[in-house]
Amino acid sequence: MNNMLMVTFAMIISCYISIGISEARLKVGFYNKTCPDAESIVGSIVRDATEFNPRVPAFLLRLHFHDCFVQGCDGSILIDNGRISERIAVGHQGLRGFDVIESAKAQLEFVCPGVVSCADIVAMAARDAVAFSFGPNYEVETGRRDGFVSNKSLAGRMPDFRDSIQLLKHKFFDKGLNEKDLVVLSGAHTIGTTACFFLMGRLYNSSPHGGPDPSIDQDFLPELMETCPPNGDINFRLPIDHNSGEAFDIQILENIRSGFAVLQSDAKLMDDPVTKRILDSYFMRFPNQTVQPSFEADFVKSMVKMGRIGVKTGPKRGEIRRVCNTFN
């Protein structure tokens, strides 16, 4: 009898644990009852900001990536706490779009005070950024809480444009992402610009022998050098996706395959047999490959997967900030 009671008790505890875990997980429509207009409010703010500045979608997409890759998708990138702020780490230089997130938060606090996290706003805004750039529409899982820590010392493992392909893979593996995620999330460079600063080494002092990176197409190289001359303005910006920098499309992957990659980290995808095969798979049919993969569909899967990195759920693990750049 005692054994039966113990088994029953264990089953009850297990049930409660299972319920707790399932409630703690992210889900689509998390705010359907508590703030039913949350997603449309964020979408409206992003649309208006994009109409005012077409570069906003790239800002927001990059903001989500940089938030998730430090301590998980917890809104820590938004905190402005002076000299230790995560947002001022070297790996985060050039980040923009904070004002758009704050505008969305202010509107949400007016309608649903204390309900929608800043971390979720960042994720929703990135989804809308893709959609407003003629990319795929997808549903965002929500339910994240905002983190309690923001420190630039924690941002040292951000993927860097100078990283080797092996180091890039390792940094993605550390976050639970694989080679396909690396390829398709690099495809986010289909929108946005970069500064000449990030090209100078690749154009004029490429290792190991100096000079231009030999992987750059010889017809493309003079164009890059003219845009970013040795003594030119290192802050001058150019599209990352050559000839297709305003629309979300697969052209970025074709450019990488063809030697038209602007960023060194994108070009490195051709240095590894696994990432190269993934790139090629979107353009050619391999033996025993029954279905041609879809870049847009795979991008959505990887974005959802990235959005789960290190999420904080439940009141003990995070908070709902009143404003996004300050802890409560």
d(C-alpha 97, C-alpha 105), whole Å: 13
Is residue 66 among the annotated active site residues? yes
- Phi, psi (degrees; rounded to nearest 5) at 73: -80, 80
Q: Which residue has the tokens 């979300």?
A: 248
Beta-strand ranges (E) seen in the chain are: 27-28, 141-142, 193-195, 237-239
For the chain, how many residues are written? 328
Query: Active site residue: 64, 66, 189, 242, which one?
Result: 66
Distance of CA 204 to the CA centre of its chain: 29
Residue 303: name the closest of 99, 68, 31, 97 by CA. Answer: 68
d(C-alpha 163, C-alpha 6), whole Å: 55
Residue type, position 120, single letter: D
- Phi, psi (degrees; rounded to nearest 5) at 317: -100, -15
Q: Give the DSSP per-residue string, 125-193.
A: HHHHHHHTTT----PPEE---B-S---GGGGTT---TT--HHHHHHHHHHTT--HHHHHHHHGGGGS-E
Omega prior to 208 cis, within 30 of 0: yes
Residues serving a catalytic function are: 66
